[in-house]
Chain A
Amino acid sequence: MTEEDKLKRFNICIEQDEKIEPKDWMPEQYRKTMIRQISQHAHSEVIGMQPEGNWVLRAPTLRAKKILLAKIQDEGGHGLYLYSAAETLGIDRGEMIKQLHEGKAKYSSIFNYPALTWADIGAIGWLVDGAAIVNQVSLQRTSYGPYARGMVRICKEESFHQRQGYEIMVTMMNGISEQKKMAQDAMDRWWWPALMMFGPPDGESVHTKQSMQWKIKRESNDVLRQRFIDKTVDQAHFIGLEVPDKDLKFNEATGHWETGTINWKEFHEVINGNGPCNHQRMKHHIKAHNDGKWVRDAALAFAETEKNDQKQLITN
């Protein structure tokens, strides 16, 4: 089959909403985009364990601690599903980690903000996982098979993440005035970064057009962001939280909440490495990776001796 025929087949497959599978022919640029997006998504899941990990030892109750541990473990699992999906495209896991450590691969800017109080754990689950869910539900229909199947698996687990976060916010809003203040403070700090999670506005997004054509992305950044805003504003008001946006208003005609302008300068600053925790996050990841080297070495050495023992058993 000529390259042209292969491309034609690929395009028909996309057009008919069929999935592209690992061994199928695909344009080099599709493969590259897919690897970039899936590995970036995987890194986000794993780096996202850090701000929450900060609170495991200080969780207010045993119940809260168990829940937080389970949630963080899920995020690690999400990272692993996604690394495994990316590996089907021919990139090695070690290579992805290397790109992360060298700053060549990015991760979601949201995880460069610190979790300062227990209310932040509530805000992260409710807002950050909430935003991630809107994005991931849409990606269940992405054109690359292993990525789409990973998203289905992840979405099943995410709804507990958002609910446990909202439950923390509800508890705090029902508490004493200091607790309410903490909850509002967390809301004030996480609201805008959560909106930024959907990426730059449609007009400025560099990858959107091609990604939509290839059905890697199924809905635009602004559409997804609006969906999140509409759901979340009502949830905030329901428990007496204020949305930190003086321009926020409900448009009766469209039925949508309209927000003020997002500070995109901050977004780009954080993406480019100047957020409050970028340095700390990467340093910690590199340290954990290198500290684990002896475990991997030992496991490989053990597997090697076992193999040799077996060989001896057979030859003796």
Chain B
Amino acid sequence: MQQQNNQLPLWEVFIQSKSGIPHKHVGSIHASDKKMALQNARDIYTRRGEGRSIWVVLSENIVSSAPGEEAEFFDPTDDKVYRHPTFYRVPDGVKHM
């Protein structure tokens, strides 16, 4: 039999499991539009009350840094130790700082 492929677009799914914590990436789904994307994400990733809020975003709209270039990309922060509190000396006896 002839195989029938007509792939629906790919979406990334982010779920907030409870109030106050950030949405977390859980995986992806295929859907033709926003509404179907939300419904599919709900059916696939929250069958046991794992979420109270879902974000979906077309995978092609996600921009990511290149893993091979981590070193150069994040390098500007390496020599800025003065951004950390431990860089500073506080005289002995000073409290609550």
Task: Determine whether the beta carbon of A299 is less than 8 Å from that of B8.
Answer: yes
Chain B residues with Cβ below 8 Å from A206 are: none
Quick one: which of A59-104 are within 8 Å of B by CB?
73-74, 77, 80-81, 84-85, 87-88, 92-94, 97-98, 101-102
A247 touches B (CB below 8 Å): no
Given A1-B68, A296-B8, A80:B29 Cβ within 8 A: yes
Q: Is the interface of B mostly helix, strand, loop or mixed?
A: loop
B67 touches A (CB below 8 Å): yes
User: 1/0 per position for B24-56, CB-CB distance to A under 8 A?
Assistant: 001111111100100000011001100000000
Chain B residues with Cβ below 8 Å from A286 are: 1, 3
- Bound together, the chains give a CA A81 to CA B3 distance in angstroms of 23
Task: Determine whether the beta carbon of B4 is less than 8 Å from that of A6.
Answer: no
- Bound together, the chains give a CA A87 to CA B48 distance in angstroms of 25
Task: Determine whether the beta carbon of B6 is less than 8 Å from that of A300.
Answer: yes
Task: Determine whether the beta carbon of A296 is less than 8 Å from that of B3.
Answer: no
B66 touches A (CB below 8 Å): yes
Task: Determine whether the beta carbon of B4 is less than 8 Å from that of A293.
Answer: yes
Task: Determine whether the beta carbon of A101 is less than 8 Å from that of B8.
Answer: no
Task: Across the interface, name the chain A residue whose C-beta is closest to B2.
Answer: A290
Task: Determine whether the beta carbon of B27 is less than 8 Å from that of A84.
Answer: yes
Taking the nearest CB of chain B, how far is it from the CB of A312, in angstroms?
Answer: 17
Given A25-B67, A299-B32, A303-B33, A80:B44 Cβ within 8 A: yes
Residue of A24, A94, A150 with most partner-chain B CB within 10 A:
A94
Task: Determine whether the beta carbon of A25 is less than 8 Å from that of B68.
Answer: yes
Chain A residues with Cβ below 8 Å from B57 are: none
Chain B residues with Cβ below 8 Å from A92 are: 7
Chain A residues with Cβ below 8 Å from B26 are: 153
Chain A residues with Cβ below 8 Å from B31 are: 299
- Bound together, the chains give a CA A23 to CA B65 distance in angstroms of 9
Task: Determine whether the beta carbon of A302 is less than 8 Å from that of B33.
Answer: yes
B77 touches A (CB below 8 Å): no
A15 touches B (CB below 8 Å): no
Quick one: which of B77-96 are within 8 Å of A by CB?
none
- Bound together, the chains give a CA A120 to CA B28 distance in angstroms of 33
Given A1-B68, A98-B3, A300-B6, A93:B44 Cβ within 8 A: no
Contact check: which of A23, A85, A94 meets B5 at CB < 8 Å?
A94
Chain A residues with Cβ below 8 Å from B27 are: 81, 84-85, 146, 149-150
Task: Determine whether the beta carbon of A97 is less than 8 Å from that of B44.
Answer: no
Task: Determine whether the beta carbon of B1 is less than 8 Å from that of A290.
Answer: yes
B64 touches A (CB below 8 Å): yes
Task: Across the interface, name the chain A residue whose C-beta is closest to B1.
Answer: A286
Task: Across the interface, name the chain A residue whose C-beta is closest to B64.
Answer: A23
Task: Determine whether the beta carbon of A290 is less than 8 Å from that of B4.
Answer: yes
- Bound together, the chains give a CA A153 to CA B48 distance in angstroms of 11
Quick one: which of A122-166 are within 8 Å of B by CB?
146, 149-150, 153, 157
Chain A residues with Cβ below 8 Å from B36 are: 299
Task: Determine whether the beta carbon of B10 is less than 8 Å from that of A87.
Answer: yes
Chain B residues with Cβ below 8 Å from A25 are: 67-68
Chain A residues with Cβ below 8 Å from B29 are: 80, 84
Task: Across the interface, name the chain A residue whose C-beta is closest to B31.
Answer: A299
Task: Determine whether the beta carbon of A300 is less than 8 Å from that of B30.
Answer: no
Task: Determine whether the beta carbon of B33 is less than 8 Å from that of A306.
Answer: yes
| 5 closest cross-chain pairs (CB), A and B | A299-B32, A94-B5, A293-B4, A303-B33, A303-B32
A-B CB contact pairs (8 Å), 20 listed: A21-B67, A23-B67, A24-B67, A25-B67, A74-B47, A77-B47, A80-B29, A81-B27, A84-B27, A84-B29, A88-B28, A153-B26, A157-B47, A289-B3, A290-B2, A290-B4, A299-B32, A300-B6, A302-B32, A306-B33
